[in-house]
Structure 1
Amino acid sequence: MKIVLVAGARPNFIKIAPLMKELRGRDAFDVRLVHTGQHYDERMSRLFFEELEIPRPDVDLGVGSASHAVQTAEVMKRFEPILQSETPDAVVVVGDVNSTLACTLTAAKMNIPVAHVEAGLRSFDRTMPEEINRILTDAISTWLFVSERSGLENLRRDGIPEERIHFVGNVMIDTLEQHRATSERSKILQGLELQGSDYAVLTLHRPASVDDPTVLSGLMAAVGRISKELPVVFPVHPRTAAILRGGGPHGTAGSGDGLRLVDPLGYLDFLKLLSNARFVMTDSGGIQEETTVLGVPCLTLRTSTERPATISEGTNQLVGLDPDHIVATAMDVFRRPKSPRKIPEFWDGRASRRIADILEHA
């Protein structure tokens, strides 16, 4: 079975690593890797390929940054000739970024079956670009590989035929489990002069968090208050850094005594940082999942989440955007001991194996 596997952005790299390893380890598959170039920064792309031992892409489309419409269109324009020359039996896409939707649309219009890994997730907030990407990708994919039980319910509600839906678990956790021991050798804590686990981690990158100056200034004001009680390490996404430099609430960003803005980190350093944190504040979907498995409290700085299992079974709390509520919740989490939580079903490091089994017998 000839497969074109697509990756475009940092979260995709974490998800494709175990898939590449599993598929290329089987004689049943001939796999080509296409990197769309949606994330192209050294620390957001090349370093992840090296650390996660992802083979050099067979094709790099080099799309780069642009508006949603331009980026999606450019991926489609550059991906179509690849499919024409490769003539694959299937295209495998992961997650919910623009590259995911663009490559799915291109393949579907060429009558090439698509497998969507991480299908069925829904925030029910259509102001999120990722939500539109999820809905459309699921609607035209042939195989829908689901990471948590809420995805099964959502796809059935959307009228997806049962034979197209497969509950396989979470490939992001496959990567975490494969690299957990290696990450323990990271020296990131010593480099940041952090003692023990009495520090927090912050990530922000979604448009709803950083594009509105009022929202961003409120979030950073809350983080500044929290950082007076314990250090807060903030690996700044290039998109967020550009907004802060370009007239955003930059002064507020440095107002806390213990707020440390650092460059984006590689996977192993970041995993080490997450693993030892007292708690994490984020607007990222994947970090909600990783903290659940690591047993680290997660405060999601959003009004909705597409990953409800991280709340019902994991360590995640949805805290919204109100600065006072964020501070109060963070201080409550900081002062009380961690409570053990269960790990969602099939988040066991073997999701990629289940996906390969299904594709091999398709």
Structure 2
Amino acid sequence: MLVDVIAGARPNFMKISPILHAMQARRDAGGPLGWRLVHTGQHYDPRMSRDFFDQLGIPAPDVNLEVGSGSQAEQTAAIMVGYERLLLARRSDCCLVVGDVTSTMACAITAQKLHVPVAHVEAGIRSWDWTMPEEINRLVTDSVTNWFFTTSEHANANLRRAGIDERRIFFVGNTMIDTLLGNMPRLRAPAFVQDLGLQPGGYFVITLHRPANVDSADGLACLLQAIGEGVRGLPVMFPVHPRTAKTLRVLPGFPANIYLVDPQPYLEFNWLVKHAKGVITDSGGITEETTVMGVPCLTLRDNTERPETVELGTNELIGTTPANLKPALDRLFAGSWKQGSVPPLWDGRTGERIVAHLERLLLA
């Protein structure tokens, strides 16, 4: 049996790693599943791709569609054309997609039109914000999915409300956390940590890439000013997303305690997060990692597709208004930030559960 495992963007790589490792372990034990790793090339910067493959022990892709840059429509079309050619040359028995990037949606549609069943890892999560491209990707992907692998009871409930048969929903946990827990002993400090004399608990990390936060130069400048003032002089490490870099180029300046650094490989970035006093972000995945590591997380969004990180974890939604930062940071400095807990099944064994289900479903 041949399973296509689809990856195309940085968030995908952490999610496929434990699935591939579990597949290899089962294969070594005589399991029935083979796989074909398909890299769409949606992220083509080496720091967004090759470094992650190397650090996470992901094998070289069997196929790279090399779609490169373009608008969302251009990337979607190029991925669909490339993946269709691949399936016509050799049909797989299942298309396994992860997360909510353009590659996820494009390959799911293409597979289903050629009658290849689709399995979606991280199915059912919803922000209910249709201005986010990722939300459209989630909705479309789940509308053509056969088997839904979920991270939380919230996702299960969303799928049930959409009329999905309970027998097609599999609550398995979070593959991102498999990767995090498996690599925790390997985390390592970036070189600039020593250069800047950073101490554990003595700095912050920020990541920003959502259009509402970074596309306006004035808006981004106000956010950075509020961060620089709110952290009480502590250094702030800012790995800069390519989208954010475009706006930063036109800013006249920003607080001196904010240090712009390159996007970090997986092991270095999570070392920074683990030892930070707090993380300020508009990412979704980082809120899951901070929850497991027990690091305070301030999310500059009005909604989240991962409500368990707020209800159970260390994350809080503080919105996109810069004035909201100071009172939240004051609570953090006062030691009154919530402790948080780890959501159910975020235990490092999600990849194994997914592969066990796939074997049963494909051999039924």
Same fold (TM over 0.5): yes
Counterpart residue number, 2:240: 236
Q: Tell me how far apart the structure 1 counterparts of residues 257 and 121 of structure 2 sit (CA, whole Å).
A: 39
Find the partner of 1:170 among 163, 170, 174.
174
Amino acid at match of 2:14: I
2:264 and 2:333 map into 1 onto residues whose CA distance is 24
Query: Distance in 2 between the 1:177 and 1:291 partners?
Result: 12
Secondary structure (helix, strand or coil) at the match of 1:31 reads strand
How far apart are residue 148 of structure 1 and its match?
1.0
User: Does the residue aligned with 1:346 lie in a helix, a strand or coil?
Assistant: coil
Query: Could you tell me the percent identity over the aligned residues?
Result: 51
Q: Which residue of 2 aligns with 1:318?
A: 317
Distance 2:205 2:190 in 1: 16
Structure 1 residue 338: Cα displacement: 5.4
2:26 aligned with 1:43, yes or no?
no
Alignment RMSD: 1.5
Q: Which residue of 2 aligns with 1:257?
A: 256
| Partner residue in 2 for 1:7 | 7
Q: Which amino acid aligns with 2:2?
A: K
Change (3 A) 1:192 1:86: farther
Match of 2:92 in 1: 88
2:298 corresponds to:
299
CA drift at 1:216: 2.1
Aligned to 1:136: 140
Task: Say which SS state the counterpart of residue 336 (structure 1) adopts.
Answer: coil
- TM-score under structure 2 normalisation? 0.95
Q: Does 1:99 align with 2:106?
A: no
Give the aligned partner of residue 276 of structure 1: 275
1:23-50: per-residue Cα shift (whole Å, max 9, x none)?
1222321111011111111211110010
Deviations 1:70-125 (A, max 9, x none): 11111111111111122100010000011100001100111100110001100011
1:153-203 superposed Cα distances (whole Å, 9 cap, x missing partner): 101111111111110000000000110001057656324420231111000
SS of residue paired to 1:43:
helix
Shift, 1:265, TM fit: 0.4
Q: Could you list the runs of 5+ residues in structure 1 that have no partner in the other structure? A: none
Higher mean C-alpha displacement, 222-231 vs 76-85: 222-231
Q: CA deviation at 1:228?
A: 4.8
Letter in 2 for 1:133: N
**Aligned-residue offset at 1:230:** 1.2
The alpha-carbon deviation at position 305 of structure 1 amounts to 0.3
Residue type of the alignment partner of 1:5: V
Whole-angstrom distance in 2 between the partners of 1:334 and 1:300: 17
> Once the 2 structures are TM-superposed, how far is the Cα of residue 271 of structure 1 from its aligned partner?
0.8
Q: Which residue of 2 aligns with 1:28?
A: 32
Q: Name the aligned partner's letter for residue 331 of structure 1.
A: D
Whether the 8 Å CA contact 1:227–1:258 is kept in 2: the answer is: no
Distance 1:186 1:260 in 2: 13
Deviation at 1:206, TM superposition (A): 2.0
Q: Which moved more, 1:62-71 or 1:313-322?
A: 62-71
* Contact 1:96-1:133 within 8 A present in 2 as well: yes
1:352 corresponds in structure 2 to 351
**SS of equivalent to 2:48:** coil
- The 3-state SS of whatever aligns with 2:122 is strand
1-structure distance, mates of 2:64, 2:246 = 25
Deviates more, 1:5-14 or 1:233-242: 233-242
User: Which consecutive unaligned segments of at least 5 residues does structure 2 have?
Assistant: none
Q: TM-score, normalised by structure 1?
A: 0.95
Counterparts of 2:170 and 2:288, CA distance in 1: 19
In structure 2, distance between residues paired with 1:265 and 1:191? 16
Matched to 2:64, the amino acid is: D
Following TM superposition, where does structure 1 have runs of at least 4 consecutive aligned residues deviating by more than 6 angstroms? none
Shift of residue 67, structure 1, vs aligned partner: 1.2
Q: Which moves more between the two structures, 110-119 or 195-204?
A: 195-204
Go from structure 1 to structure 2 and tell me whether the alpha carbon gap of 1:322 and 1:79 turns closer, same or farther (over 3 Å shift).
same
The residue number in structure 2 matching 1:156 is: 160
Match of 2:266 in 1: 267
Separation in 2, partners of 1:193, 1:40 = 33
Post-superposition offset of 1:212: 3.1
Corresponding residue for residue 80 of structure 2? 76
Q: Cα distance 1:243–1:141, how it changes in 2: closer, same or farther (>3 A)?
A: same
Q: In structure 2, give the amino acid aligned to 1:98.
A: T
Q: Is the 8 A contact 1:300 1:316 kept in 2?
A: yes
Does the CA-based 8 Å contact 1:227-1:256 persist in structure 2? Answer: no
